[in-house]
Amino acid sequence: MSPSPVRLPDAASVQAVLAQLEPASVDGALVPALAAAFPGFDFSLAHVDDDYWRDTRSVIRPDKIRIGELRPWMTAELAKDGGDVKAVWTRLGKTDLQITEWRGTGAFVFAPTGPAPADYIQIALGREVEWRAGPVVNPDYRPWGEQELLDPSWLRRDPLPDTDRLAGPVYRLLDRAGSAFVHVRSFLDRCGRIEREKREAKRPEMERRVVRETGPRGATRETPFLNLVPDYFEFVPRELRFFRDWEDSSARPQRVFAHWALDARDYTYKGEREVGFIPRPLKMPRERLLLTPETSVHQLMDRIEAVDGEVGLPFGWFFLMTHGHWVEPDVGLAIAEGLKAQRVRLPDADAAVLLRWAERSYGF
């Protein structure tokens, strides 16, 4: 049995662990290193198909000796020629200097903190390799502005040979939109609190708002907005509903993080706080499930059973449907109608979740 966790990981301490890993063994060493640094946590690692490249680039010689970071170095080269872009392009085109670029793929580390679906932490990482990506200037196209030299668009985007690998792989925290490290239960509490605060701030406005309807003879009727939407202040964000539906369905015995990663965000834009996530499936079915006019509800039942088997999760099709790509919402609505008409059956818990969703659907 694992010892009780001593402390939750934090961004600074995770970065310290990542900095100690050797590129040659980084993939196999990551989870043991985290476990040693944070006793009591059972860490797991999942990679996702999320290619990206960083805009931090360097200039190197053919012998891999680094000259400097691209932008300040190129700015200095432009200054040498008085800002003459053509002169710089001509001069550097005669050299054998190269540009390096860090390219990465997404990864997530998870660790449970309790028995409930939301009781876990998630750490968003990037697995990155530095590559020799192309010549310092485009030999085939003359640039017309400085930005074309400072932000090269001619670098190769196809897979590169190992001979062009310069450094890595290394793991880095991906602090996109302030969500490199997420304690999911606390994050959900924050989602709910921020949504309540936003709606409460609008209470005076909502209490004054009316909806005007004009009849066929020109008569106007005004109805208070809150009479039409009486539960406006009890709105439950989709993020909370996702986890509530997991807990209430036959998916509950399995961990959310065994099947889903969360693209979480927490930032302030124009004075307004934005908190939420988009779920990303870690296991996908072989093909999308779409509703066609020829598809019967009984055929849909066969298909959702197959989807559950492919992803290894009871009621897995439902959560893929809330994601919106692999199973389209019309599938859920059709099955819900079949349940109401008693033409098909689901386990009681799953039927209750689906009918609740059909009454007020949500998606990501």
Residues 93 and 231 in one domain: no
Instruction: Give me the pLDDT at residue 214, please.
Output: 84
Contacts of residue 105, Cβ cutoff 8 Å, sequence gap at least 6: 47, 48, 49, 50, 51, 52, 126, 127
Instruction: Answer yes or no: is pLDDT of 39 > 60.
Output: yes
More confident residue, 12 or 74: 74
Mean pLDDT for 262-279 is 93
Categorize the per-residue pLDDT at 6 as very low, low, confident or very high, splitting at 50, 70 and 90: low
Say if residue 189 is in the same domain as residue 170. Answer: no
Task: Check whether residue 242 and residue 108 sit in a common domain.
Answer: no
Residues 194 and 157 in one domain: no
Q: Alpha helices, DSSP H only, in the chain?
A: 11-19, 26-37, 70-80, 85-93, 146-150, 184-201, 203-208, 225-228, 238-248, 297-311, 316-323, 329-340, 348-359
From 131, 129, 128, select the one nearest 100 (Cα to Cα).
Answer: 131
Range of the domain at 159: 11-174
What's the pLDDT score for residue 288? Answer: 97
Bridge partner residues of 135 (DSSP): 98
Whether 261 is in a domain gets the answer yes
Band (pLDDT 50/70/90 cuts) for residue 338 is very high
Q: Are 171 and 108 contacting, i.e. CB atoms less than 8 angstroms apart? A: no
d(CA 131, CA 57): 10
pTM: 0.87
- The residue assigned the tokens 């039942």 is 301
> Looking at residues 321-343, what average pLDDT do you find?
97
d(Cα 94, Cα 226) in Å, to the nearest integer?
Answer: 71
- pLDDT at residue 221, rounded to an integer: 87
- Number of structural domains found in the chain: 2
Residue with the bigger pLDDT between 310 and 154: it is 310
97 and 190 share one domain: no
pLDDT in the model for residue 315:
99
Residue 180 belongs to a domain = no
What pLDDT was estimated at residue 5? Answer: 54
Considering the domain boundaries, does residue 1 fall inside one? Answer: no
Q: Are residues 163 and 266 in the same domain?
A: no
201 is a domain residue: yes
Residue 176 has pLDDT above 80, yes or no: no
Q: Would the CA dihedral through 88, 90, 94, 96 be positive or negative?
A: positive
Tell whether 163 is covered by a domain. yes
Weakest mean pLDDT among 4-8, 60-64, 89-93, 242-246: 4-8
- The mean pLDDT value for 105-129 works out to 96
User: Residue 335's CB: how many other CB atoms inside 10 A?
Assistant: 26
pLDDT per position as a tens digit, 299-322:
999 999 999 999 999 999 999 999
Q: Which residue has the tokens 């066609």?
A: 292
